Chains A and B, each alone.
Chain A
């Protein structure tokens, strides 16, 4: 019966959407693919930003100078899906050996349990067959709820078409067996693309190597769950506190505790309605 109703109204269950997108007859997602961004290898050339803009034909963000660093892009947005952060740490001691430049190519984190996907009311945001979080441009109606749901500030709504856009992890290239544009363009392999389990292994080895070499501050951000937040399918190797790169220290899943909040809200309304019933029954007495 419920199947019939669903067919009649062409309703799609959210859990079906994941399956619908799979080429595979079994409906199982193919191998999960992701990014590993090793910030110790980044030289800040911004080739990833350019390659992303070119391949995805993203509009210009204008010609702005921030004046604080070589970073004139500042943040990810609907028209910027890769953003290179420049952290300039200048040591004030006499020998200045503590100075360093931290560069990090930021991108949509493709969270395993993505708040934007949970928030999306139209089912436009899905997990595709590569396990990546994808905004279907022909479904999005620009409600803007994912914009405030994302704890990384990744998504933006375009003024041009009114839809939300973000990194697709080059879904189109992946379908043709190609590497995403940014990873392809990266000259130092700071951006690596591949099957997630392999990437995570590789990343852990890299951290070990760095630590052995004396870079004891190297660690992985998002390769596994951060508190109650799901692992990120685009994770990072960092050498400073996440806030230094404008990343949240421990992102929070907005939907956590939502049911309790609904109940609390309904209980308030119901209690006041019951009181109203009493007052109406009392009439002018009391």
Chain B
């Protein structure tokens, strides 16, 4: 706790007796020059009450939305040759989605009231909007997975009802599922930016950062699952790598934008406890390592299954590290009264 500087500078009283006033003028010094403008450095804001579940949900929700969007694109535009991406992408999206509601409920103060989130439809609140997006996306995703399962079972000739249903579910997946998945991927960033916590407050880049991370983690997870299932060379390898590369570039750009816009307010992220998560985890593992590996001569990555798995795993770990560091850095940021004062300057 800082005391006002002047306390230490005060002239000592002699024997506890007040000095007589020798006819000096009583001049009140201008307050703003004399005394520090702070309150014993007591935090001005409250830190988030969220624990590890929230960062994990941000990661898994994004992964789910991203891989589903990729699965649908592969189905629509890749045709039969990309059927693996559709199948595996849908399953990856579903597995990543499953723990999400549980993670969100676990973090509530009163878990039995979780369904109150859907008591109103209030798009003004990103938390409420996200709850609706998550619920609707879960419904569409479940239908898509059921279709995938039925498709796997119905070998040979397929009836007319099946093809009509299949057409319908694909339509639902494309026109409702993909937008919902993209919203699920990005709303979490908007949610953080719609707070008073200095490091996140009104930062335009958090949404794009989380969106790009969702696509890159989706592509990495699909690639990882493909490589883990078999070592055979797939035609989807190249487009997936290109998607990952493009979204990694977007992610790096958004991260740069975020750090630039936050400026000094990003200090709890770039220095201190979460610096390692950011620089080693997100930048090193997530962005640099996979980029370096993909720059190796083509035959390396194509022939080395474990290289592929390692690269995808590093990419996923990096996206998680970034979510984790940004979310957790909210606590030191809110506890820093100087940051709170800076973010509430009239010009900021």
The segment from B154-162, B310-318, B337-345 that touches chain A is B337-345
For the A-B complex, the count of residue pairs with Cβ-Cβ distances under 8 Å equals: 331
| Residues of chain B contacted by A241 (CB below 8 angstroms) | 31-32, 37
Residues B208 and A268 in contact, CB atoms below 8 Å apart? yes
| Residues of chain B contacted by A94 (CB below 8 angstroms) | 11, 19, 24
- CB interface residues, A 35-80, toward B, < 8 Å: 66-69, 71, 74-75, 77
Option from B6, B130, B246 in Cβ contact (under 8 Å) with A275: B246
Residues B215 and A122 in contact, CB atoms below 8 Å apart? no
In the assembled complex, the Cα of A230 lies from the Cα of B340 at a distance in Å of 19
B99 within 8 A of A: no
Residues A269 and B190 in contact, CB atoms below 8 Å apart? no
Option from B78, B120, B126 in Cβ contact (under 8 Å) with A281: B78
Nearest-CB residue, chain B, relative to A145 = B127
Given A66-B40, A245-B39, A272-B246: A280 and B330 interface contact (C-beta under 8 Å):
no
Given A142-B110, A252-B344: A268 and B239 interface contact (C-beta under 8 Å):
no
B100 within 8 A of A: no
In the assembled complex, the Cα of A151 lies from the Cα of B125 at a distance in Å of 16
Option from A66, A258, A266, A276 in Cβ contact (under 8 Å) with B211: A266
- CB interface residues, B 96-121, toward A, < 8 Å: 107-111, 113-114, 116-117, 119-121
Where chain A touches its partner, the secondary structure class is: loop
Given A265-B186, A276-B69: A162 and B109 interface contact (C-beta under 8 Å):
yes
B171 within 8 A of A: no
- CB interface residues, B 308-348, toward A, < 8 Å: 330, 334, 337, 340-341, 343-346, 348
The segment from B141-149, B195-203, B286-294 that touches chain A is B195-203
Residues B42 and A75 in contact, CB atoms below 8 Å apart? yes
| Residues of chain B contacted by A139 (CB below 8 angstroms) | 113, 116, 119
Nearest-CB residue, chain A, relative to B247 = A272
Given A143-B127, A151-B196, A265-B186: A244 and B26 interface contact (C-beta under 8 Å):
no
Option from A67, A163, A252, A261 in Cβ contact (under 8 Å) with B1: A67
Residues B34 and A89 in contact, CB atoms below 8 Å apart? yes
Shortest CB-to-CB span from B167 to chain A, Å, is 19
Nearest-CB residue, chain A, relative to B186 = A265
The segment from B177-185, B223-231, B262-270, B273-281 that touches chain A is B177-185
Where chain B touches its partner, the secondary structure class is: helix
A8 within 8 A of B: no
A164 within 8 A of B: yes
| Residues of chain B contacted by A286 (CB below 8 angstroms) | 242
B81 within 8 A of A: yes
In the assembled complex, the Cα of A260 lies from the Cα of B163 at a distance in Å of 40
Residues B49 and A157 in contact, CB atoms below 8 Å apart? yes
Residues B196 and A122 in contact, CB atoms below 8 Å apart? no
Shortest CB-to-CB span from B314 to chain A, Å, is 20
Given A90-B7, A121-B122, A261-B207: A98 and B28 interface contact (C-beta under 8 Å):
yes
Nearest-CB residue, chain A, relative to B54 = A144
Given A269-B185, A281-B78: A141 and B116 interface contact (C-beta under 8 Å):
yes
Residues A252 and B212 in contact, CB atoms below 8 Å apart? no
Residues A11 and B121 in contact, CB atoms below 8 Å apart? yes
Q: What 0/1 readout, one digit per residue, does chain B (229-266) give for beta carbons within 8 Å of chain A?
A: 00000011011101100110010001000000000000
B3 within 8 A of A: yes
Option from A68, A269, A284 in Cβ contact (under 8 Å) with B40: A68
Shortest CB-to-CB span from A143 to chain B, Å, is 6
Residues B109 and A276 in contact, CB atoms below 8 Å apart? no
A197 within 8 A of B: no
Residues B124 and A150 in contact, CB atoms below 8 Å apart? no
A124 within 8 A of B: yes
A91 within 8 A of B: yes
11 further interface pairs, Cβ-Cβ under 8 Å (given A248-B44, A254-B194, A264-B204): A90-B4, A92-B11, A120-B127, A139-B113, A143-B108, A153-B340, A240-B31, A246-B337, A255-B124, A272-B250, A273-B73
Contact surface of B with A, Cβ cutoff 8 Å: 1, 3-4, 6-7, 9-11, 19, 21, 24, 26-29, 31-32, 34-35, 37-40, 42-50, 66, 69-70, 73-74, 76-78, 81-82, 85, 107-111, 113-114, 116-117, 119-122, 124-128, 130-131, 178, 182-183, 185-187, 189-191, 193-197, 201-202, 204, 206-208, 210-212, 214-215, 219, 235-236, 238-240, 242-243, 246-247, 250, 254, 330, 334, 337, 340-341, 343-346, 348
Would you give 7 A-B contacts (Cβ < 8 Å), ordered by A? A88-B7, A98-B34, A120-B122, A250-B348, A266-B183, A273-B178, A279-B239
